[in-house]
Chains A and B, each alone.
Chain A
């Protein structure tokens, strides 16, 4: 892990970001089996401290696939899409468990059930879309397609309304931030548009979940996520998102070639 922290210092722009990484990375390592390797030292990366030149690689650069015994998401456009596929796997798994929980019909009111069932549908569709698109797009899908990941939700009680909605909020907000941060890593405009078609639906989800939690408020686009000066939503790099996702994903994987 020493090496990984050092790497992030290169890419991190602020002391605050650095501290957050250190804090979160400790949590991730203690809490889950995820091998969080962060970004590897790449000579181009090292030169200017920015990943823009290396991450936006189109069909060049690193494809997804097993490296040193662990699946790596890759670093080219397919790597970015595989990263999105991993997140959609997580969201789809979560809502599948939500709607199949024994107390689903009594835990939630009718509006909440409708919203959660829609989200289950949407996220499963997103997951299957990425699986199909990556299988047909990857040169060697047998070795390059991200396998089905496994998930664990700790002490989360799927029959507890507040816990389920709080987790949904975290996942949707993270999804929005992840897609917002990933757009710039894509070089193919068709992939960028597809990501754009999905991220706004994730943002609609996030808004609805926040509104269910606290309807009589501005939380649907709250000051905790929308910058109060610029009016901009959150954007996160894959390395930041991986730390959050690591709370739930138990299958080891790495993201060495994403910022």
Chain B
């Protein structure tokens, strides 16, 4: 029995009865992990429990909900540790808007880590070791401008990465809904961080925006799309507005390539 079949059968039997309250969804997501722990591990799930981020991604293009959520957890680990280190370092100006913003964002990322760990249960993955200086290139915990720039890159990456995993969760509606509800939180964060940096809250073309390191361009490549299901979104107001109106997905490998920059 492969993991996908297992989850499908579980979904049919139990998840369809979820009434949709927040608590129910939460407990159902938790149940997936518990049942997977009891039943699926003997059937060769070891590869999916690897601590390496790339392992999570191997199957994330093939409709595997577990791999999709493992990728999500990897990105949440990254964001959670980044903001925690940022708050601990004192790089964020204290007592004003910035501190309120990043305390709120940090709280959400921490919640997302816990939520995904609980949801994945035995399929959860360990936190990678991060290096936010990328071998000494960046200094985000002493340089606030760099901290802000990386925060923007991480949030915009998160939005695109979750979007890219949605289709892999289509057969597990409760997991899909949970992922969508994280996805929109990442987008709220991204908008605020961008606005803190003096940018628009939305992405124009494939512009990374003023002050963003060239190294972050991979986060924005492909955002310039102005054709959606055959409709020319540039037709009415031009390409800038047309591209802003839609966020584009990142594939699992693309998201991992970005995250891997910061994983030792």
For residue B180, CB closer than 8 A to chain A, the reply is yes
For residue B210, CB closer than 8 A to chain A, the reply is no
| Distance of A211 from chain B, by nearest CB (Å) | 6
| Distance of A239 from chain B, by nearest CB (Å) | 11
Contact of B195 among A118, A179, A211, A216 (CB under 8 A): A211
Report whether B112 and A193 are in contact in the complex, using a CB–CB cutoff of 8 Å: no
> A141-189: which residues lie under 8 A (CB-CB) from chain B?
176, 179-181, 183-184, 186-187, 189
Contacts A187-B170, A194-B229: A207 and B188 contacting too (C-beta < 8 A)?
yes
Number of interface residues of A (CB under 8 A): 69
Contacts A13-B21, A211-B195: A118 and B241 contacting too (C-beta < 8 A)?
yes
Query: For A17, A124, A184, A215, which residue has the most chain B Cβ atoms within 10 angstroms?
Result: A184
| Distance of B14 from chain A, by nearest CB (Å) | 11
Report whether A218 and B180 are in contact in the complex, using a CB–CB cutoff of 8 Å: no
Given the complex, which residues of B lie within 8 Å of A197, measured CB to CB?
Answer: 163, 228, 246-249
> A200-259: which residues lie under 8 A (CB-CB) from chain B?
200-208, 211, 215-218, 220-222, 226-235, 237
For residue A103, CB closer than 8 A to chain B, the reply is no
Report whether A232 and B170 are in contact in the complex, using a CB–CB cutoff of 8 Å: no
Report the number of A-B residue pairs with Cβ-Cβ less than 8 Å: 220
| A139→B101 CA distance, assembly (Å) | 48
For residue B8, CB closer than 8 A to chain A, the reply is no
| Distance of B12 from chain A, by nearest CB (Å) | 9
Report whether A226 and B108 are in contact in the complex, using a CB–CB cutoff of 8 Å: yes
| A48→B14 CA distance, assembly (Å) | 11
| A40→B214 CA distance, assembly (Å) | 55
| A126→B231 CA distance, assembly (Å) | 10
Contacts A133-B229, A193-B167: A204 and B190 contacting too (C-beta < 8 A)?
yes
Report whether B100 and A218 are in contact in the complex, using a CB–CB cutoff of 8 Å: yes
For residue A100, CB closer than 8 A to chain B, the reply is no
Contacts A198-B246, A200-B163, A201-B246: A221 and B185 contacting too (C-beta < 8 A)?
yes
| A198→B163 CA distance, assembly (Å) | 10
Report whether B201 and A207 are in contact in the complex, using a CB–CB cutoff of 8 Å: yes
Contact of A56 among B15, B173, B181, B200 (CB under 8 A): B173
Report whether A48 and B16 are in contact in the complex, using a CB–CB cutoff of 8 Å: yes
Chain B: interface secondary structure?
helix
Contacts A201-B247, A232-B182: A194 and B177 contacting too (C-beta < 8 A)?
no
For residue B47, CB closer than 8 A to chain A, the reply is no
Contact of B187 among A136, A200, A228 (CB under 8 A): A200
| Distance of A228 from chain B, by nearest CB (Å) | 8
Given the complex, which residues of B lie within 8 Å of A186, measured CB to CB?
Answer: 170
> B143-183: which residues lie under 8 A (CB-CB) from chain A?
159, 162-163, 166-167, 170, 173-174, 176-178, 180-183
Contacts A48-B16, A233-B181: A17 and B21 contacting too (C-beta < 8 A)?
yes
For residue B33, CB closer than 8 A to chain A, the reply is no
Report whether A207 and B192 are in contact in the complex, using a CB–CB cutoff of 8 Å: yes
Given the complex, which residues of A lie within 8 Å of B195, measured CB to CB?
Answer: 207-208, 211
Using CB atoms, name the residue of chain B closest to A191. Answer: B229
| Distance of A82 from chain B, by nearest CB (Å) | 15
Using CB atoms, name the residue of chain B closest to A130. Answer: B231
For residue B90, CB closer than 8 A to chain A, the reply is no
| Distance of A212 from chain B, by nearest CB (Å) | 9
For residue B93, CB closer than 8 A to chain A, the reply is no
For residue A128, CB closer than 8 A to chain B, the reply is yes
| A255→B91 CA distance, assembly (Å) | 51
| A19→B167 CA distance, assembly (Å) | 34
Report whether A221 and B244 are in contact in the complex, using a CB–CB cutoff of 8 Å: no
| A196→B181 CA distance, assembly (Å) | 11
A-B contact pairs, 28 of them (CB 8 A): A49-B17, A52-B18, A52-B173, A124-B237, A128-B236, A132-B230, A179-B180, A180-B177, A181-B177, A183-B166, A190-B229, A193-B163, A196-B183, A196-B249, A197-B228, A197-B246, A200-B183, A200-B184, A202-B184, A204-B188, A205-B202, A211-B191, A211-B195, A218-B100, A218-B103, A221-B104, A226-B185, A231-B110
Contact surface of A with B, Cβ cutoff 8 Å: 11-14, 17, 48-50, 52-53, 56, 114-115, 118, 121-122, 124-126, 128-129, 132-133, 136, 176, 179-181, 183-184, 186-187, 189-190, 192-194, 196-208, 211, 215-218, 220-222, 226-235, 237
